[in-house]
């Protein structure tokens, strides 16, 4: 059985490199009921993997990724540009075992345009995501409910005619959120 990790925001509190204006985030979220968000932005966002054993690594990308090597190369170049990945490594550079999950290419919804996905669901029953408890985060009850069209309609009706709504595409948001080093072992790619 593996020992529970001590996350950076709880122990060492080493500030990670970030482009977030942490002073402003702290100011605007000071009365927010979940103030730990600002600590996660500063010290890294834990993955909350709680299985007793590490997931099983997959040492080959999905056929869809192997069929589109230039797409995968472009994806990795983009991730490196955003400093969203580290490496490359010829061998495991961590002081513990790590997990390698495959890449795959999939078409975007209602489109034939392919994009690359780091498949943390692969090897059902043995994947990284299988070790992340649903409706729980860092051993606390948690339920994520993303706003849908009904919430948007409710918001517009509440604000009244002529209100303005701003929508932000968050497709690259994960490139700007750091992950503490104790969690990096779960998200290796080939």
Q: Does residue 135 form part of some domain?
A: yes
Number of CB atoms found within 10 A of residue 44's CB: 23
Judged by DSSP in three states, 105 sits in strand
Q: What is the pLDDT of residues 27-56, one digit of tens each?
A: 988 888 888 888 998 998 898 888 888 898
Q: What is the mean pLDDT of residues 62-84?
A: 91
Q: Tell me if 6 is assigned to some domain.
A: no
Task: Identify the three-state secondary structure at position 52.
Answer: coil
Q: How many domains would you assign to the chain?
A: 1
| Residue 126 belongs to a domain | yes
Q: Which residues are bridge partners to 115 per DSSP? A: 106
The whole domain housing 67 covers 22-189
State the number of CA atoms in the 13 A half-sphere of 57 facing the CB: 13
Q: How far apart are CA 19 and CA 6, in angstroms?
A: 24
Q: Is residue 99 part of a domain?
A: yes
Q: Is 104 inside any structural domain?
A: yes
Nearest-angstrom CA–CA distance, 2 and 123: 21
Q: Is residue 185 part of a domain?
A: yes
Could you tell me if residue 14 is inside a domain? Answer: no
- Rounded-to-integer distance, Cα 85 and Cα 188, Å: 9
CA dist 138 and 159 (Å) reads 36
Question: Per-residue pLDDT tens for 138-181?
Answer: 888 988 777 778 888 888 888 888 888 776 666 666 666 778 87
Beta carbons of 9 and 18 less than 8 angstroms apart: no
Q: Judge whether 72 lies within some domain.
A: yes
**27 to 22, 30, 31, 55: CA distances (angstroms):** 8, 5, 9, 39
């Amino acid at each position: 059985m593996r020992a529970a990790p001590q996350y950076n925001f709880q122990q060492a509190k080493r500030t990670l490199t970030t482009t977030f204006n942490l002073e402003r985030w702290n100011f605007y979220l000071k009365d927010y009921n979940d103030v730990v968000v600002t600590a996660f932005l500063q010290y890294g966002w834990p993955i909350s993997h709680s299985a007793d054993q590490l997931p099983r690594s997959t040492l080959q990308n999905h056929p869809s990724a192997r069929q589109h090597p230039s797409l995968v190369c472009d994806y990795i170049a983009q991730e490196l540009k955003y400093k969203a990945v580290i490496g490359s490594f010829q061998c495991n550079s961590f002081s513990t075992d790590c997990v390698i999950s495959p890449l795959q290419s999939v078409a975007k919804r209602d489109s034939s345009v392919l994009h690359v996905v780091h498949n943390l669901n692969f090897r059902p029953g043995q994947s990284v995501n299988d070790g992340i408890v649903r409706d729980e985060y860092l051993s606390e009850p948690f339920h994520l409910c993303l706003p849908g069209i009904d919430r948007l309609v409710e918001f517009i009706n509440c604000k009244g005619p002529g209100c303005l709504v701003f929508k932000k595409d968050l497709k690259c948001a994960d490139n700007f959120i750091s992950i503490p080093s104790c969690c990096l072992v779960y998200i290796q790619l080939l």
